[in-house]
């Protein structure tokens, strides 16, 4: 029998803990669900959007393109990945399905690190808030820093991955 994945085990544990909490105090759980219903619906909506974007990315990025261009550690690719990360809306947990699709296409981990770093440092949803509250100059500096640190994170990943290589996960890479 195949050993269950870590994600499946964690998911089952979360359901068991939720069930125990519901048995112990059902009124508090119902109150927590009612108080956070808008947030729950928003997260579900974002999950749907991410699934659509990830599926679209899977079909729009040809495997040959990814293998030819995005499997190398060129600084220009790291910069572009950081820029795409900056332009990707949504919270960080919402882009992981996209990252898994890109990884399955063969895109190098350093490029994925640059993408995640760019998205984490800044995102389009923050632009109006930062410009409105802190001014365009402040936002300009943050944008410049994001575009510098994203490729730098990819370079540092490359340097660290030589003495400490990744463990290959066949579920993700398809190997």
pLDDT of residue 59: 67
Q: Which domain covers residue 163, as residue numbers? A: 28-173
In a domain, 5, yes or no: no
- 62-to-2, 13, 72, 107, 131 alpha-carbon distances in Å: 31, 37, 16, 11, 37
pLDDT classification of 161: cutoffs 50, 70, 90: confident
In a domain, 12, yes or no: no
Q: Cβ distance 115 to 70 under 8 Å? A: no
Q: Look at the chain and count its residues.
A: 175
Q: What is the pLDDT of residues 82-94, one digit of tens each?
A: 888 888 777 777 7
Q: What is the pLDDT of residues 119-147, one digit of tens each?
A: 888 877 777 778 888 889 998 999 899 89
In a domain, 79, yes or no: yes
Judged against a pLDDT cut of 70, whether residue 172 lies above it is answered with no
Number of domains in the chain: 1
Q: Cβ distance 85 to 118 under 8 Å? A: yes
13 vs 167, which has greater pLDDT? 13
pLDDT classification of 149: cutoffs 50, 70, 90: very high
pLDDT classification of 117: cutoffs 50, 70, 90: very high
Task: Record the pTM.
Answer: 0.63
What does the angle CA 57 – CA 89 – CA 40 come to, to the nearest 5 degrees?
A: 100
3-state SS string for the chain: CCCCCHHHHHHHHHHHHHHHHHHHCHHHHHHHHHHCHHHHHHHHHHHHHHHHHHHHHHHHCCHHHHHHHCCCCCHHHHHHHHHHHHHCCCCHHHHHHHHHHHHHCCCCHHHHHHHHHHHHHCCHHHHHHHHHHHCHHHHHHHHHHHHHHHHHHHHHHHHHHCCCCCCCCHHHHCC
Judged against a pLDDT cut of 90, whether residue 148 lies above it is answered with yes
Rounded Cα distance, 134 and 137, in Å: 8
In a domain, 100, yes or no: yes
Q: What is the pLDDT of residues 91-104, one digit of tens each?
A: 777 788 888 888 88
In a domain, 22, yes or no: no
Q: What is the pLDDT of residues 27-81, one digit of tens each?
A: 888 888 888 888 888 878 877 776 676 667 666 666 666 566 566 668 888 988 8
In a domain, 16, yes or no: no
pLDDT classification of 171: cutoffs 50, 70, 90: low
In a domain, 67, yes or no: yes
Rounded Cα distance, 110 and 46, in Å: 26
In a domain, 126, yes or no: yes
Judged against a pLDDT cut of 70, whether residue 105 lies above it is answered with yes
């Amino acid at each position: 029998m195949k050993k269950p994945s870590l994600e499946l085990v964690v998911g089952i544990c979360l359901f068991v803990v939720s069930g125990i909490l519901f048995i112990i105090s059902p009124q508090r759980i119902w109150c927590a669900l009612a108080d956070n219903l808008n947030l729950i619906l928003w997260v579900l909506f974002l999950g749907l959007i991410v699934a659509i974007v990830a599926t679209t990315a899977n079909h729009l990025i040809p495997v040959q393109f990814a293998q030819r261009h995005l499997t190398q550690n060129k600084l220009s690719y790291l910069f572009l990945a950081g820029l795409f990360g900056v332009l990707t809306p949504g919270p960080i947990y919402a882009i992981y399905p996209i990252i898994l699709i890109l990884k399955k296409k063969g895109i190098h981990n350093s490029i994925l690190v640059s993408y995640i770093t760019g998205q984490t440092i800044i995102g389009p949803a923050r632009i109006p808030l930062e410009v409105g509250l802190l001014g365009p100059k402040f936002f300009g500096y943050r944008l410049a820093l994001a575009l510098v640190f994203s490729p730098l994170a990819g370079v540092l990943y490359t340097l660290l991955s030589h003495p400490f290589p990744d463990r290959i996960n066949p579920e993700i890479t398809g190997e």
